[in-house]
């Protein structure tokens, strides 16, 4: 697994600067770091699961406690 700073950098580049993983992969290779786009994608998935899954689970639990749920199903 990559360091926290490298993972944060790849996430920032992908989602804030809109740099796709294949271009980041090329940039890392130019710097002498063989980081694949698959590896970056796995970092992003694992990081989001680690940080956001507890929040999702809590919100899901609170939602299920409600007596009535409203939804807008128009498309």
What is the tens place of the pLDDT at every residue in 3-47? 999 999 999 999 999 999 999 999 999 999 999 999 999 999 999
pLDDT at residue 47, as a whole number = 96
pLDDT at residue 27, as a whole number = 98
The Cα 52–Cα 27 span in angstroms is: 28
Return the SS3 of 75: coil
Stronger pLDDT, 68 or 75, i.e. the higher one: 68
Domain ranges of the chain: 4-65
Q: Which two tokens stand for residue 59?
A: 């919100």
């Amino acid at each position: 697994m990559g360091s926290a700073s490298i993972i944060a950098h790849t996430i920032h580049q992908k989602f804030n600067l809109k740099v796709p993983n294949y271009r980041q992969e090329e940039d890392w290779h130019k710097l002498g770091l063989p980081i694949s786009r698959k590896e970056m994608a796995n970092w992003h998935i694992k990081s989001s699961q680690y940080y956001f899954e507890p929040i999702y689970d809590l919100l899901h639990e609170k939602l299920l406690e409600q007596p009535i749920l409203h939804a807008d199903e128009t498309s």
